[in-house]
């Protein structure tokens, strides 16, 4: 099957569908899926990646998904030309959508104006992505991840099942990345950087994710403010 894909005997998207059907374990459709706004824990992320072989397409796919924190359509719409190896930046310029009677296609119409953005990725992920692109010999207009939305969901649920963690919908990956940024922000400049990375305005970012700071972190913040206010007393 892999040879057929590399020799262009079957399409990349068909290859991914067959990969799910033949290799990944089956999962029950009756599984309780978490709500969109439920973020992954660090333990869940570690367990999830532990069951994905490191030298596979799926490992690269989910590593990029978690680090970018992009929308699923943006992830699947990425083309090789959107990635600059020299700057380690990925441009979000389009998304992959399904149109009845046409099938899957890329469109340059994104959700908001802020959705068009450049995202810097880590050196570790950049090296991983470089090796993947070199191995698959993709051209600049090829999709980086030629996968259907439903195929990605099936992969996600199968690996969650295999790792024994709670089940999340794909959008919770974006929410997890955003929540982790919200917890790490210490000043307005960092807020601007994080909101730009997620394709939000700073105001929208704060309204959506700031309420996920834990009670302990809020208590620590309150103590810092209280100490500052006592200096003038």
Q: What is the rounded (10 degree) CA torsion for 204, 206, 212, 218?
A: -170
Kind and range of the H or E run holding 95: strand 95-99
The token duo for 187 is: 């000043």
Lowest-confidence segment of 16-30, 43-57, 73-87 by average pLDDT: 16-30
Rounded Cα–Cα distance for residues 220 and 226 (Å): 10
What pLDDT, on a 0 to 100 scale, did the predictor assign at position 5?
47
| Average pLDDT estimate for 83-109 | 89
Q: What is the pLDDT of residues 120-160, one digit of tens each?
A: 999 999 999 999 999 988 889 999 999 989 999 999 999 99
Res. 32 pLDDT band, cuts 50 70 90: very low
**Sign, Cα dihedral of 139, 106, 176, 210:** positive
* Residue 208 burial (C-beta neighbours within 10 Å; 0-12, 13-18, 19+): middle
pTM attached to this predicted model? 0.76
Model confidence band, residue 11 (pLDDT cutoffs 50, 70, 90): low
Q: What three-state secondary structure class fits 218?
A: helix
């Amino acid at each position: 099957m892999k040879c057929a894909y590399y020799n262009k005997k079957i399409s990349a998207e068909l290859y991914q569908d067959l990969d799910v059907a033949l290799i990944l374990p089956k999962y029950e459709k009756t599984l309780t899926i978490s709500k969109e706004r439920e973020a992954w824990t660090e333990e869940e992320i570690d367990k999830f990646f532990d069951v994905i072989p490191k030298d596979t397409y799926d490992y690269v796919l989910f590593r990029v998904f978690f680090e970018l924190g992009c929308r699923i359509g943006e992830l699947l719409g990425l083309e090789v030309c959107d990635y600059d190896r020299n700057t380690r930046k990925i441009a979000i310029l389009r998304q992959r959508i399904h149109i009845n009677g046409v099938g899957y296609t890329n469109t340059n119409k994104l959700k908001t104006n802020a959705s068009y953005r450049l995202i810097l990725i880590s050196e570790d992920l950049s090296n991983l992505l470089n090796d993947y692109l070199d191995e698959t010999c993709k051209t600049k207009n090829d999709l980086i991840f030629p996968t259907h939305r439903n195929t990605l969901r099936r992969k996600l649920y199968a690996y969650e099942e295999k790792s024994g963690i709670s089940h999340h919908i794909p959008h919770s990956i974006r929410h997890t990345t955003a929540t982790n940024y919200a917890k790490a922000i210490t000043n307005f400049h960092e807020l601007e950087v994080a909101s730009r990375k997620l394709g939000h305005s700073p105001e929208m970012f704060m309204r959506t994710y700031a309420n996920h700071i834990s009670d302990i972190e809020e208590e620590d913040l309150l103590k810092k403010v209280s100490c500052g206010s006592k200096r003038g007393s």
